[in-house]
């Protein structure tokens, strides 16, 4: 049996595949090795092992945010080797997981819009171009974290329309000092900031919210499609994975249309596509 994992900063989805049959499917907390300490990662991997209930795992295919560097690939692989006591472990960046889920062995441009964001060009076998990931403080345009930051920023500065500020107050009761301490001293600030996108989804008919989400997607297109612009214009396959792309897809599709970019597929999460990919091998 093989274990497949799609791991974002917020959540990780796991599938134990026995031939063509899904033996187990479950969700745990996610992690990013750039920001998550080793003990937390070990705890999440061990939780996954407990879900599997000692069933034999012959190989692990792990796709994770922050797993583009060799150092992080080695770190994650070593933790799996210790917890699962196996050596056959493949660790890939989440961008390659998006490619496999969206396109299989066909070429295309894969984009991720979840807690974080990214984009890459895929030739059907490997990633040939990718956007430099700068993390949530500098990059991640169009992501849940980016949208959440914009909403909270406008709330505290009084830019948010008053009727929405009242709704926001009722929902979150945010104190500025406690908020800043949570962001700058707490764990996983990107996940925390991304949680405020729920407010956006609950009020998506409001023109201010639609403007904020659309403006964040404009920033994503401007930054992530800069290097891939010529590829996007000639490629019939541009796809998106991630909860943000899925929930706000009507706004995303309009922004893409404004830039003459055609989207062929949007997946809330890549796991179904990954299962199909490994069944086809």
pLDDT tens digits, one per residue of 23-65: 999 999 999 998 889 999 999 999 999 988 767 889 999 999 8
Give mean pLDDT, residues 239-250.
95
Own/partner contacts of 26-32, CB < 8 Å, gap of 24 or more, are 26/51, 30/65, 30/115, 31/7, 31/64, 32/8, 32/64, 32/65, 32/66, 32/116, 32/190
115 lies in a domain? no
169 lies in a domain? no
Among 14, 15, 8, residue whose Cα is nearest residue 98: 8
pLDDT surpassing 50 at residue 272 = yes
Which residues span the domain enclosing 33? 2-98+271-280
Q: What is the pLDDT of residue 216?
A: 96
81 lies in a domain? yes
> Which pLDDT band holds residue 188 (cuts at 50, 70, 90)?
confident
In the chain, the number of structural domains is 1
What are 11-20's pLDDT values in tens digits? Answer: 899 999 998 9
11 lies in a domain? yes
Tell me how long the chain is. Answer: 281
pLDDT surpassing 90 at residue 134 = no
90 lies in a domain? yes
83 lies in a domain? yes
Instruction: Supply the pTM of this predicted model.
Output: 0.86
Q: What is the pLDDT of residue 54?
A: 60
The enclosing domain of 89 has a CATH number of: 3.30.420.40
261 lies in a domain? no
Give mean pLDDT, residues 172-187.
92
205 lies in a domain? no
Lowest mean pLDDT among 80-94, 121-135, 186-200, 202-216: 121-135
């Amino acid at each position: 049996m093989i274990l497949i994992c799609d791991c974002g900063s917020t959540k990780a989805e796991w599938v134990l595949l026995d031939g063509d049959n899904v033996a187990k499917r479950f969700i745990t907390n996610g992690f990013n090795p750039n920001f998550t300490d080793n003990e937390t990662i070990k705890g999440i991997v061990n939780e996954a092992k407990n879900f599997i209930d000692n069933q034999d795992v012959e190989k692990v295919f792990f796709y994770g945010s922050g797993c583009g560097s060799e150092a992080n690939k080695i770190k994650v692989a070593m933790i799996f080797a210790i917890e699962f006591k196996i050596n056959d472990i493949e660790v890939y960046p989440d961008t390659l997981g998006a490619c496999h889920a969206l396109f299989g062995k066909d070429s295309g441009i894969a984009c991720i819009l979840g807690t974080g964001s990214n984009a890459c060009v895929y030739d059907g076998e490997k990633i040939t171009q990718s956007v430099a990931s700068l993390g949530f403080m500098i990059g991640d345009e169009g992501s849940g974290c980016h949208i959440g930051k914009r909403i909270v920023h406008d709330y505290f500065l009084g830019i948010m329309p008053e009727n929405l500020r009242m709704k926001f107050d009722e929902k979150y009761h945010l104190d500025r000092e406690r908020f800043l301490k949570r962001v700058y001293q707490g764990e996983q600030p990107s996940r925390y900031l991304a949680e405020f996108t729920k407010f956006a989804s609950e009020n998506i008919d409001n023109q201010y919210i639609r403007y904020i989400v659309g403006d964040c997607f404009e920033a994503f297109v401007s930054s992530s499609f800069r290097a891939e612009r010529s590829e996007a214009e000639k490629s019939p396959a541009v796809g998106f994975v991630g909860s943000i792309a899925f929930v706000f897809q009507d706004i995303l599709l309009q922004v893409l249309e404004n830039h003459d970019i055609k989207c062929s597929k949007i997946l809330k999460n890549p796991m179904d596509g990954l299962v199909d990919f490994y069944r086809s091998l």
